[in-house]
Structure formats: C-alpha cells, structure tokens
Amino acid sequence: MTLYQELIEGPLAAEIAPFIAAGNDGAINAILTRKDIAVYGSISVNAFAIWAAKTGLRAAIQDHAYTLQSPLRSIALTLLDFLQSSSARSLDFGNSDNCAMLEAWVVAGALTPVQRDDLLAMALTTISRAEQQGVNADIAAIAHSLRS
C-alpha cells in the first residue's frame, strides 16, 4: 500500500481525515508514527540463554538435540547452534516459523504454556502503523503524497 492509499483507505483514515482537510501534516505524521501496535519482535541471545537456564529449558534443548527419536530434535539442534553461535544476535518471534517451533515444544509437553508466554512477553514490543506497513511517513513525504 502506498502512503497515499494508507492515508485515504488505511485503518487510521477516519482519524487522519480531519487533518488532511486542515492541511496539518504534522498531526498526520504523529498519528502514523504513534507506537501503539503490539507485535512480537526479537530477543537477544543473552536474554534467551538466561531464560532457558532459569526455566530448565537449556538442559531440555540439549537432551532433545542428542535424542535421535525426539520429535523436537531438529528444533533443538538449531537452538543449540543459536546459543553457541558467535554471529547470531537475536531470536525473532515476529517470524511465524519461530512461533510455530516454539508452539511445538508446548504441544510436545517440553515447555509449559506459562513458560512460552513468559518468553513471548520478553519479545513483545510496540510499533507504529508506518512501521507496520513499511511506509515513509515523515512530514515531507506526507505533504508530497497529499499534494501530488
């Protein structure tokens, strides 16, 4: 969606409309860049390692990684790679595949729903509508979009 379409048709269009009519690009910018959308983001390797140690999941990861019959083996091996990598920096729960793999641990009974929720809470962040849509919503871009 283009910035113009976002302004005219997006979910914030009704809130933005009076400011379009008034030519108040600053107010439009404030609405589009307001961080009020909750999403899952990334957590650092360090934060994950501490959480895994506190919950006992670190040992479970290793146990599942070395158990050939474990349905979680592939995920566990990847988590070991993640924990031991010098280049990995974060684990992104904004990626639906990562969330699905986390849920597999709950389904398998290797992680409780409370532990999952605790981990996901660490990844919770807020973003703006502009960030969510990947549009440049600075004042100049808004003015150009509305007046061209």
Query: 3-state SS of the chain?
Result: CCHHHHHHHCCCHHHHHHHHHHCCHHHHHHHHCCCCEEEECEEEHHHHHHHHHHHCHHHHHHHHHCCCCCCCHHHHHHHHHHHHCCCCCEEECCCHHHHHHHHHHHHCCCCCHHHHHHHHHHHEEEECHHHHHCCCCCHHHHHHHHHC
* pLDDT at residue 39 in the model: 96
Mutual angle of helices 73-84 and 96-107, in 10-degree steps: 120
* pLDDT at residue 85 in the model: 84
Backbone angles phi, psi at 38, to 5 degrees: -80, 130
Q: What are the beta bridge partners of residue 43?
A: 91
Report the DSSP pairing between strands 42-44 and 124-127. unpaired
Residue 91 in contact with residue 82, Cβ under 8 Å? Answer: yes
Q: What are the beta bridge partners of residue 92?
A: 42
Greater confidence, 23 or 85? 23
pLDDT, tens digit (0-9, with 9 covering 90-100), for 89-147: 899 999 999 999 999 999 999 999 999 999 999 999 999 999 999 999 999 999 999 98
pLDDT, tens digit (0-9, with 9 covering 90-100), for 37-90: 999 999 999 999 999 999 999 999 999 999 999 999 999 999 999 999 877 789
